[in-house]
A and B are shown apart, each in its own frame.
Chain A
């Protein structure tokens, strides 16, 4: 069995510099479309968006990233593409309902619940445990039980047959607790929105504290959301052209 020990040591350190530094490796994030002045083709480009994440006012396009499902219709197969950035610090925070105390800033236990996820968000959450991201070094641990959980991380649009289980899980968690909704489906229902069998996101069922857009958000964005949940990182700055929450 010593072969594994030696192999493990030989592999060296793979872990990302984030959150202390920036992660610059290629392929760690799909990026997000950004709002801004566009030009005369703004209306035509907005038409192409199948999930109504884009809104046009004159020559300015505003992006509701909560609805963006990375279909790339606004950058691929068009003459003038929309501006995409390669960032990953996407998590936004709702006004705090209850302040986490000091002890929660260092180590927290996260309960991950799949409420109808397609597998991608869940797979990205799973990556947080591999050596590239290694969330344990930041004091984040995954727990299988609500009784030990400080943060409830929900993926998926909340299907009807999971709604009851999700509510029971939330109620079983001790206060103070936070809810993090991960991915476009958990924020707006995504491609499953407006359906007899799904809610339009977690907020329909539970109070949400932190939201991460993306379809799926990359591991770094999910890491950022946990850091935001405990107050160790600032939430993403509001997109100046983005429609305010609740506007649609």
Chain B
């Protein structure tokens, strides 16, 4: 109390750094919120709004290569110009439409494959002993940390015409000439399932770990067969894990660029790759921006469902 009084009496006599520290102590909560908030507004929201703006402009021979949204004429009249041509162009053009559909086909199929193979693996880990469990979990997480690019590269070595799989099959006499696997859609599926599998297994594991085993026992005591118990008890209870895992695979897989480029070559069209090429080679910014916005619109519902589950999960814990 005494300290506070002296401060009021002679506020100018305190050295600057002490005054700053006092200020900071008084408003520290505000500072803590403001710094990350400002960063995200500047480097996340603002860039995104600029892209949205460009998607409503026209291509122009200028730097940057698009028309201005707001222009002032000489007599002080402001004109706002918004065109939806880029969007109608994308939706009427077969190339873009097919690419969107193909991306969705590939990401949905890979998500289902991840679920089919990931579910039993997650279930097996949950049912492992107390010693094996953390080790197995670590084995699932480890590839998730090793470079994404290198995991894709590893499959290039396996799938190539002169790659390991073909070499083994040739040596065993199963085939007479190499099967073409690299630079096909098949390779893209393998790549996506391989790299995104941990995203499926981990949420499933987290969900199954919390399940009450006595429900299964009760079902068994009441004469339910194992398959019946699985479909009536286990599967419905693990639904939150399934939803989270599927979204974590589906969302990034739809916009994937590296896998279709390295494993699909030029033969597999996915929207992430088209977007990248559109922007870097053709430098048609307005169309590229519109392609990005449409991709985001495709993913916005799955993203919101994910956020909803994320929020619910953090409230529960």
The answer to whether A and B belong to the same complex is no
